Amino acid sequence: MIHVFTVHSSLTFLIAYSVIKHLKLYKEEVILITSGYIVPIDGFNVFNSFEDDNKSWSEKILKFNVPNYYDKYIDKLTYSKPFIAYIDLMSYYQKILVTNKNCQGFHFIEEGNSAYQSNDDLTDISWHERSMNYRNNQFSFKSLVRVLRGYNLRLLSLPYIYSAYVNMENIRFFSFSKNAFYNAPYEKKILVSPDLKDENIALMSGNFQLENQVVWLDGSNARYTELSEEYYYNAIQKAIDILKNRNVILSKVYVKLRPGIKDYNQNQLVKILIRNDIEVEVLPDVMILECFFMLSKNCHVIGTLTAALEYAYVFGHKAYSIYGLFAKQPPTFFDRMTGFWENIENLKEN
């Protein structure tokens, strides 16, 4: 049997890799379809996503009926043999993948935030089209193009979120934490535990590990709060004061910046830490953070609103969020994440 995994991030690759090891699959049986992500280790059958290979207008016109051409693409990769699919969410291409005539079944792998929410709403179910209204007050060109390009109403009606599929027979949900896939029956959830002696885990950690150190994950995640960055910067200073008083922060902090940042000295988190006489060392950009957490021991991990804090907790570290120090704290997606605030200390002012 062929096993097809869709991968779009370091986390989805890591969970795919862990599932492959857990199920003892041979590499020859596995196909990884990647979208916007470069697989960091060799030896797998890795292919660009259909979307990444057909971005030009000429390709879009030539392959106008997306489901039909995506079926041909998958048939080519799998030699038209039966396969099982592993997806994180039911996005458009995943909808086509799992309804391919040769797909014998599909399972979900965790991808971060969405796997940890304890309840859903209408926005979650229709996430891809969340910017649209539920009524057409004017002509919707986007809706027309979608249908013209081969997405019929039955295909479009497949819900986006995993919880819509929990009662399907034989489906499984793979994750690192028991808190993931809250709405899935216990017997359908499979916890995977990577082998810490696996040299690929060390490679994916950037061959970097720490013990009894402080790690700060940069990022306000303003897309969840819609607050200006000033709220984040002010909370950083408050957190430094609190954690210094607790002797959590002593003289040095390791900082994980968002991918692609080159000029460290212009980063506000780095600036504020240095202004407080704290030595800063920036962690390698290439590491998969979760692998780093697996191999490190007994660290204090600080962040704002990010599933990475949950993974820090899962892999044995003390996790803190500075969101409780924001002057304004609008409700966010994280309020619906199973166990998030039980596992992570939300720092507060006295």
62: left (phi > 0), else alpha (psi -120 to 50), else beta?
alpha
CB 319 within 8 A of CB 299: no
* pLDDT band for position 139 (cuts 50, 70, 90): low
Mean pLDDT check: name the lowest of 46-50, 81-85, 277-281.
46-50
Mean pLDDT of 47-62: 86
Which of the pair, 30 or 50, is modelled with greater confidence?
30
> Is residue 224 packed enough to be buried (19+ CB in 10 Å), middle (13-18) or exposed (0-12)?
middle
Say which CATH topology domain 202-346 has. Answer: Rossmann fold (3.40.50)
Q: Distance between CA atoms of 74 and 50, rounded to whole angstroms?
A: 9
CB 83 within 8 A of CB 1: yes
CATH 1.20.81 holds for 2-193 = no
Q: Distance between CA atoms of 157 and 167, rounded to whole angstroms?
A: 17
- Answer yes or no: is pLDDT of 238 > 90: yes
Q: Which long-range contacts (CB under 8 A, 24 or more apart) does 39-46 make?
A: 39/7, 39/13, 40/10, 40/13, 40/203, 40/204, 40/286, 40/288, 41/17, 41/200, 41/203, 41/204
Mean pLDDT of 157-165: 90
Mean pLDDT check: name the lowest of 7-21, 146-160, 314-328.
146-160
Mean pLDDT check: name the lowest of 25-29, 47-51, 306-310, 331-335.
331-335
Q: What is the pTM of this model?
A: 0.87
DSSP helix/strand/coil, 40: coil
What is the model's pLDDT at position 26?
93
Q: Which long-range contacts (CB under 8 A, 24 or more apart) does 244-248 make?
A: 244/276, 248/214, 248/300
What is the model's pLDDT at position 46?
92
* pLDDT band for position 115 (cuts 50, 70, 90): confident
Task: Write the pLDDT tens digit of every residue in 248-264.
Answer: 999 999 999 887 777 77
- Answer yes or no: is pLDDT of 141 > 70: no
- Answer yes or no: is pLDDT of 186 > 70: yes
Mean pLDDT check: name the lowest of 8-12, 41-45, 284-288, 335-339.
335-339
> Is residue 183 packed enough to be buried (19+ CB in 10 Å), middle (13-18) or exposed (0-12)?
middle
Phi, psi of 119 (to 5 degrees): -150, 160
Q: Distance between CA atoms of 10 and 285, rounded to whole angstroms?
A: 12
* pLDDT band for position 89 (cuts 50, 70, 90): very high
Task: Write the pLDDT tens digit of every residue in 292-350.
Answer: 999 999 999 999 998 899 899 989 999 999 999 999 988 887 887 767 788 899 999 87
- Answer yes or no: is pLDDT of 43 > 70: yes
Note the residue count of the chain.
Answer: 350
Q: Distance between CA atoms of 334 and 177, rounded to whole angstroms?
A: 16
- Answer yes or no: is pLDDT of 137 > 80: no
* pLDDT band for position 220 (cuts 50, 70, 90): confident
- Which pair of structure tokens corresponds to residue 330? 């609008």
For residue 204, the tally of other CB atoms under 10 A from its CB is 25
226: left (phi > 0), else alpha (psi -120 to 50), else beta?
left
CATH 3.40.50: which residues of the chain?
A: 2-193, 202-346
> Is residue 211 packed enough to be buried (19+ CB in 10 Å), middle (13-18) or exposed (0-12)?
exposed
Looking at the chain, the whole-number percentage of residues with pLDDT higher than 90 is 56
